[in-house]
Amino acid sequence: MRVLAIADPHLSRLRPKPMTVFGPAWQGHPEAFFRGWRQAVGREDLVVVPGDISWAMRLPEALPDLLDLAALPGKKVLLKGNHDYWWPSIRRLRALLPEGMYALQNDALVVDGVGVAGTRGWQYPPPTPEDERVFAREVERLRLSLKDLQGKPHRHRVLAFHFPPFGPDGEAGPLLELAAEAEPAAIVYGHLHGADPERLPREYRGIPLHLVAADALGFRPKLILEVD
- Successive 10-residue mean pLDDT values, the chain, 228 residues: 97 88 88 98 98 97 97 98 97 95 97 97 97 98 97 96 96 97 98 88 97 97 94
Complete domains list, the chain, with CATH: 2-226 (3.60.21.10)
Look at residue 23 in the predicted model and tell me its pLDDT: 84
Look at residue 156 in the predicted model and tell me its pLDDT: 96
H or E stretch including 178? helix 174-181
Question: Before 60, cis peptide (omega within 30)?
Answer: no
DSSP conformation class of 54 = B
d(CA 176, CA 167): 10
Sheet holding 222-226, edge to edge: 101-103, 75-79, 46-50, 2-5, 222-226
Look at residue 198 in the predicted model and tell me its pLDDT: 80
* Closest by Cα among 42, 25, 73, 12 to 213: 25
Radius of gyration of the chain, Cα coordinates, nearest whole angstrom: 16
Backbone phi, then psi, for 27, in 5-degree steps? -60, 130
Query: In Å, what is the CA distance from 225 to each residue of 47, 48, 140, 157, 205?
Result: 11, 12, 27, 10, 18
Can you give 91-157 as a three-state secondary structure string?
A: HHHHHHCCCCEEECCCCCEEECCEEEEEECCCCCCCCCHHHHHHHHHHHHHHHHHHHHHHCCCCCEE
Look at residue 66 in the predicted model and tell me its pLDDT: 97
d(CA 59, CA 11): 13
d(CA 101, CA 204): 30
Question: Which residues make beta-bridge pairs with 223?
Answer: 4
DSSP conformation class of 74 = S
- Entry pTM: 0.96
Backbone phi, then psi, for 15, in 5-degree steps? -130, 80
